């Protein structure tokens, strides 16, 4: 399974300099750490800082990788309770275009 560092680097590549999110987003993998995406700064930044975000997505690292690889649909994960979203749902919706 990918390390947190590998996942973080992959997110940096997907997000790029301007993701269009215009918000902050945090992926909370529980004991496996966090990925923080600052889509408000220019260029956008991706780090492992555990800071407050406009939207926090709680998901296991395993299910996150399945979502990124197209093996698990975000909406399905949410409905099945594998993904919990706190804060601005609109940010989560915008994220789908970034992850594709």
As a whole number, mean pLDDT of residues 83-100 equals 87
How confident is the model at residue 95, as a pLDDT?
84
Q: Which CATH number fits domain 4-93: 3.40.605.10, 3.30.1050.10, 3.40.470.10, 3.40.50.970?
A: 3.30.1050.10
Neighbouring C-beta atoms of residue 92, cutoff 10 Å: 21
pLDDT of residue 91: 93
What pLDDT score was predicted for residue 100? Answer: 66
Contacts of 60 (CB under 8 A, 6+ apart): 29, 30, 32, 82
**pLDDT, average across residues 70-97:** 92
> CA angle, corner 9, sides to 38 and 33, nearest 5?
70
**For the chain, first and last CA: distance in Å?**
20
Predicted confidence at residue 97, as pLDDT, reads 77
Which pLDDT tens digit goes with each residue over 41-58?
999 999 999 999 999 999
Of 4, 10, 7, 98, the closest CA to residue 55 belongs to 98
């Amino acid at each position: 399974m990918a390390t947190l560092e590998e996942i973080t680097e992959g997110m940096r590549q997907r997000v790029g300099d301007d993701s269009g999110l215009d918000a902050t987003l945090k992926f909370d993998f529980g004991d496996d750490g966090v990925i923080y995406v600052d889509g408000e700064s220019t260029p956008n930044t991706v780090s492992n800082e555990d800071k407050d975000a406009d939207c926090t997505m709680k998901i296991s690292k395993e299910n996150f990788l399945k979502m990124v690889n197209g093996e698990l649909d975000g909406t399905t994960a949410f409905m099945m309770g594998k993904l919990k979203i706190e804060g601005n749902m609109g940010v989560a919706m915008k994220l789908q275009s970034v992850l594709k």
